[in-house]
Structure 1
Amino acid sequence: MREALDVLLNNVKKEMSACPWENPYAYADFLAQTYYYVCHSTRLLGLAAGLCRVDRDLLHRRFVQHIGEEKLHERLALNDLRGLGSKLEDFPEHSITKAFYESQYYKIERLDPTALFGYILLLEGVAVSVCPDIYQRVERAHGKRCANFLRVHVEEDVDHLPKAFAQIESLSAGQKSDILVNMAQTADLYCQIISQAARGRSVERARAA
Structure 2
Amino acid sequence: MREALNVLLNNVKKEMSACPWENPYAYADFLAQTYYYVCHSTRLLGLAAGLCRVDRDLLHRRFVQHIGEEKLHERLALNDLRGLGLKLEDFPERSITKAFYEAQYYKIERLDPTALFGYILLLEGVAVSLCPEIYQRIARAHGKQCANFLRVHVEEDVDHLPKAFAQIEGLSASQKNDIMINMAQTADLYGKIIAQAAQSPSVDARARAA
Q: Shorter-normalised TM-score: what interval?
A: over 0.9
For residues 1-51 of structure 1, give each alpha carbon's deviation from its aligned partner in whole angstroms, at most 9, with x where no partner exists. Answer: 000000000001111000000000000000000000000000000000000
Is 1:46 matched up with 2:77?
Answer: no
Residue 100 of structure 1 deviates from its aligned partner by 0.1
What is the match of residue 162 of structure 1? 162
What is the match of residue 75 of structure 1? 75
What is the match of residue 146 of structure 1? 146
Change (3 A) 1:2 1:113: same
Residue 205 of structure 1 deviates from its aligned partner by 2.7
Superposed CA RMSD: 0.8
Residue 203 of structure 1 deviates from its aligned partner by 2.7
* Structure 1 segment 32-43 matched on structure 2, within 5 A: 32-43=32-43
How many angstroms apart in 2 are the aligned matches of 1:125 and 1:70? 15
How many angstroms apart in 2 are the aligned matches of 1:108 and 1:89? 30
How many angstroms apart in 1 are the aligned matches of 2:167 and 2:42? 18
How many angstroms apart in 1 are the aligned matches of 2:203 and 2:102? 28
What is the match of residue 203 of structure 1? 202
What is the match of residue 108 of structure 1? 108
How many angstroms apart in 2 are the aligned matches of 1:206 and 1:80? 22
Residue 204 of structure 1 deviates from its aligned partner by 3.0
* Structure 1 segment 121-200 matched on structure 2, within 5 A: 121-200=121-200
Q: TM-score, normalised by structure 1?
A: 0.98
Q: TM-score, normalised by structure 2?
A: 0.98
Percent identity over the alignment is 88
What is the match of residue 8 of structure 1? 8
Matched residue type, 1:91 = F
Residue 172 of structure 1 deviates from its aligned partner by 0.0
For residues 77-97 of structure 1, give each alpha carbon's deviation from its aligned partner in whole angstroms, at most 9, with x where no partner exists. Answer: 000000000000000000000
Unaligned 5+ runs, structure 2:
none
Change (3 A) 1:74 1:17: same
How many angstroms apart in 1 are the aligned matches of 2:136 and 2:185? 27
For residues 112-131 of structure 1, give each alpha carbon's deviation from its aligned partner in whole angstroms, at most 9, with x where no partner exists. Answer: 00000000000000000000
Flag as ranges the 4+ runs of structure 1 deviating above 6 A.
none
What is the match of residue 23 of structure 1? 23
Unaligned 5+ runs, structure 1:
none
How many angstroms apart in 2 are the aligned matches of 1:203 and 1:197? 9
